[in-house]
Amino acid sequence: MRPDTADAPRDPPDPAEASDAPGDAGESGPVPEEASAPPAPLLELRDGLPPLTDTPAALDEACRALAAADGPVAIDAERASGYRYSPRAYLIQLRREGAGTFLIDPIPLDSMALLQEALAGSEWILHAATQDLPCLTELGLVPARLFDTELAGRLLGYPRVGLATLAELLLGRRMKKEHSAADWSTRPLPRPWLEYAALDVEVLIELRDVLARELRETGKEEWARQEFEALRGFTPVVRNEPWRRTSGLHRVRGRRLLGAVRELWQTRDELARARDVSPGRIIGDNAIVAAALADPRTRSDLMETKGFHGRGAQRYADRWVEAIARARQMPEEELPVRAPRTDGPPAPRTWAERDPVAAERLALARDGMNRLSEELNVPAENLLSPDTVRRVMWEPAGAELGAVETQLRGLGARDWQVELTAPMLLESIRAASSSAGASGPTDHPPD
């Protein structure tokens, strides 16, 4: 875990709404007046650094200790993002009062079944659970209940919800950050890294108790319970055409050149998967775009392309030339289109032209979401995902409260979200229809 990095909302807002999104992006913003005060004490390990659990015998001992203790379990996992292709966990940290802290290396161990059994029925405390749940699930570690301190901070309206920020603000302890971007696939793991990792779970139980009390006091406890329950079923979004997220793709014009980007991206992905290295450590996105635009015919032409560089640029030069050649020779019907059809509504910037009434609905709904956000002290995207708002405003199921509520639930909104937002969304639907002189939601032209 990176203690000062909050996970992005599960459904991030589009660029038009990005300025309203909370998170830790403002960590380097204006220095508060309190900055002149002495720094908070540095967090230290209460029980010292535990030994690394990396043998079946040590795992069995750790599991017996964890199972014998009571209360929630603080859990964190370290991956090698930016270094490895695989999102697997290279270290698991756990802490439970009465048992202490454990650092488990899953790489040499065949199974985590004993650990799952030891934690059966307990509440897991994670920070930004969407970061760690996939790699824990891959190991067979699945919570029966969970509490997400990052999400709790969002629901309580804290503007910055990184673990280090919340720990300093609520517990009065500073956390170290110097190993947040380390290559956790390194073996053996250096002692300073292990100390850093152990500190990540040192504060989670205490932080959970403070946040849980605030949730009760603000009447948001049930909201959090529903959100935490929904998190247990979290799975990462699998994109149909991930190559379209290539940085700088907007510079590429024409289907043939888009095809070159796709072929280069897929070639890089195959190489990265086979070597288990981060794709960007072979060549960067900027190199892919540069090569596609240059359309080199030979290895020497490719290597002279401005912007084409990276560790694997020369090493795999023949593969890159072959990828570009495939795109050059590809039949027209097999080339990618510029803007693929999706199952969602079109980009909001096109609504005014395509369906003015829908555009009015969306504008009213966004204003309403912002008002609710300020009133309840909850980020708008946590009240309801921007994608859900867009879908309902583009194609409302009806102009009655029950229809809006049913549509929201069908899109995955939790009961607390439906209760708070459905009346406002219904008002937006009716107001837009009324101003357009219509009796109900208007149809819009097909995509």
Contacts of 352 (CB under 8 A, 6+ apart): 359
Per-residue pLDDT tens listing for the chain (447 residues): 544 444 333 333 333 333 333 334 334 344 444 456 788 898 999 999 999 999 999 999 999 999 999 999 999 999 999 999 999 999 999 999 999 999 999 999 999 999 999 999 999 999 999 999 999 999 999 999 999 999 999 999 999 999 999 999 999 999 987 777 899 999 999 999 999 999 999 999 999 999 999 999 999 999 999 999 999 999 888 888 999 999 999 999 999 999 999 999 999 999 999 999 999 999 999 999 999 999 999 999 999 999 999 999 999 999 999 999 999 999 999 999 987 777 789 999 999 999 999 999 999 999 999 999 999 999 999 999 999 999 999 999 999 999 999 999 999 999 999 999 999 999 999 999 888 764 444 455 555
| CATH entry 1.10.150.80 includes domain 254-334 | yes
pLDDT in tens, 302-359: 999 999 999 999 999 999 999 999 999 999 999 999 877 777 899 999 999 999 999 9
How far apart CA 369 and CA 361 sit, in angstroms, is 12
Q: What residue ranges do the domains of the chain occupy?
A: 15-231, 254-334, 348-435
Span 15-231: which CATH code?
A: 3.30.420.10
The structure tokens 């540069």 sit at 290
Check the CA dihedral 207-210-211-213 and report its sign: positive
| CATH entry 1.10.3720.10 includes domain 348-435 | no
Q: Are 7 and 131 in contact (CB under 8 A)?
A: yes
Same fold, 15-231 and 348-435: no
